[in-house]
Amino acid sequence: MPSDEHDDLTSIKGIGPKGADALREILGVASFGDLAASSPEDVRRAHHSAGIPRPSEDVASVWIAEARQKAGGDARARAKPEPKVVSGDSQTTTAVHDWESYATFMVEFQTRDRVHRIVERQVVVREPETDIGESFSLEQGAEAFDWMRQQLASGHRLGDATPPASGPASSDEANESDAPESVWPGVRIDHVELYQPPKSQIPLARADEDHPNLGVARVKEPVVLRIEFARDSLEGTDDSDADVTYVGEIYIQAWDSGAAVHIGPTAPAPLVADTERYAVEIRHAFDAPGLYRAQCVITLSTEPPTSELLEIPLLQVH
């Protein structure tokens, strides 16, 4: 039975106001002891019933474990083993609580059917603690990541353990804040061209971000998909043109069966000083006619790696 106590469940990292309301209204969870006595599946079911993103089972288990600690060993809390994280192939296990969470994001991939067998897809990223979120197309993977980075940097409102001190900043701090930001390495796919036969001088079809449909290709005949891209300056990073390479790869999926094939990656090729534009060519042959979608990816070997994706939602093969 739920207790008569009322605790602030949002003080547990990752539980936002909507999540707390869902736990209270659907499960009757009003206190840390109530939450500690719940199961991860109960927590996930409450979020699903409320129409908000569900936490993973591991995240829900962490919430329950933290509620148990805050409840001070409430007798109603069922003892549950803490989740473990296994490192690689080793047998070393580390309790989840050895890692301190300072931010939580929920990423949801959504689809909806449209006319003519077209399926629309989008990515929804949500920050549970503030109940804000943003939607992105699959082509905007980099923008979704940047949005999460912006939330982490916006006023320490995700529970940063070391918020900035109040009061006027010192002159040193002011000078540091006025310093220009480092330039992040980047890559931008301009367009993808399809050549059939492979040695053709003129592309059979062409696609870019504004015109994402690649056109028509013939079945069982080799094609070359040429990905042309530009890279940004590497200034302000630990990388230089001399030690950064690039690779290209393509993921192709059939709309009707969902069967997918991964082509690549290509052999690493070095960036060249003062050269801004590059291209990779990937050879393929379609085994069956139909409608396909392709995701073209370019990755630079920076630290961390830098990738760009251009999705071609419709390629017809006959």
3-state secondary structure 16-37: CHHHHHHHHHHHCCCCHHHHHC
Long-range contacts of 309-312 (CB under 8 A, 24+ apart): 309/138, 309/139, 309/141, 309/142, 309/189, 310/139, 310/189, 310/191, 310/192, 310/207, 310/208, 310/209, 310/212, 310/227, 311/137, 311/138, 311/139, 311/212, 312/192, 312/207, 312/212, 312/213, 312/214
**200: in domain:** yes
238 lies in a domain? yes
Task: Give yes or no: residues 196 and 313 share one domain.
Answer: yes
pLDDT at 267: 93
pTM, entire model: 0.44
Per DSSP, the three-state class of 104 is coil
- 21: amino acid identity, one letter: D
Asked, for residue 24, whether it belongs to a domain, the answer is yes
* Residue closest to 50 by CA, chosen among 18, 7, 17, 6: 18
* Of 132, 125, 101, nearest in space to 18 by CA: 132
What's the CA gap between 248 and 227, in Å, rounded? 8
If asked whether residues 39 and 66 sit together in one domain, one would say yes
Helices (H) and strands (E) counted in the chain, each on its own, are 6, 15
Total domains in the chain come to: 3
- Tens of pLDDT along the chain (318 residues) come to 455 668 899 888 888 888 899 898 888 898 988 898 898 888 988 888 888 888 887 788 888 888 888 887 544 444 444 444 444 444 444 444 455 666 777 877 777 776 555 667 777 888 776 667 888 876 676 777 777 777 766 543 444 333 334 344 444 443 444 433 433 347 889 999 999 999 898 998 888 877 877 778 899 999 999 999 998 765 544 445 558 899 999 999 888 787 889 998 999 999 888 888 999 999 999 999 888 888 899 988 887 788 888 888 888 898
CA dihedral 209→135→99→12, nearest 10 degrees, is: 170
Domain edge (last residue) among 38, 55, 88: 88
**Residue 218, in any domain of the structure:** yes
Residues 200, 153 share a domain: no
Contact between residue 125 and residue 134 where contact means Cβ atoms under 8 Å apart:
yes
At 64, which CATH number? Answer: 1.10.150
Phi, psi of 282 (to 5 degrees): -125, 130
Domain-located, residue 140 = yes
**Contact between residue 266 and residue 294 where contact means Cβ atoms under 8 Å apart:** no
Largest Cα separation within the chain, whole Å, is 77
- Claim to verify: residue 144 and residue 202 sit in the same structural domain: no
Provide the pLDDT for residue 281. 96
CB atoms within 10 A of CB 199: 8
Same domain, 215 and 296: yes
Q: What is the DSSP string of 179-231?
A: SPPPPPP-EEEEEEEEESSTT-SS-SEEE-SSS-EEEEE-TTS-EEEEEEEEE
- 303 and 193 housed in the same domain: yes
Q: Hey, what are 312's tokens?
A: 């071609």
Q: Tell me whether strands 223-231 and 205-207 are parallel, antiparallel or unpaired.
A: unpaired
Residue 165 resides in a domain:
no
In a domain, 98, yes or no: no
Q: Which residue from 90, 99, 115 is spatially nearest to 14, judged by alpha carbons?
A: 99
pLDDT of 210 reads 78
What is the number of residues in the chain?
Answer: 318
The Cα 172–Cα 178 span in angstroms is 10
Among the candidates 88, 116, 145, a domain finishes at: 88
Residue appearing with tokens 């449909």: 213
pLDDT of residue 122: 77
Examine the domain organization and report whether 145 and 81 are in the same domain: no
Co-location of 59 and 114 in the same domain: no
Same domain, 83 and 122: no
Domain for residue 176, yes or no? no
Distance CA 103, CA 105 (A): 7
Domain that holds residue 136: 103-157
Domain identity same for 244 and 276: yes
Asked which of 88, 112, 146 is the last residue of a domain, the reply is 88
CATH value at residue 262: 2.70.50.30
Q: Are residues 114 and 75 in the same domain?
A: no
Question: Residue 261: phi, psi to the nearest 5?
Answer: -135, 140
β partners of residue 250? 263, 296
Are 131 and 226 within one domain?
A: no
pLDDT at residue 115, as a whole number: 57
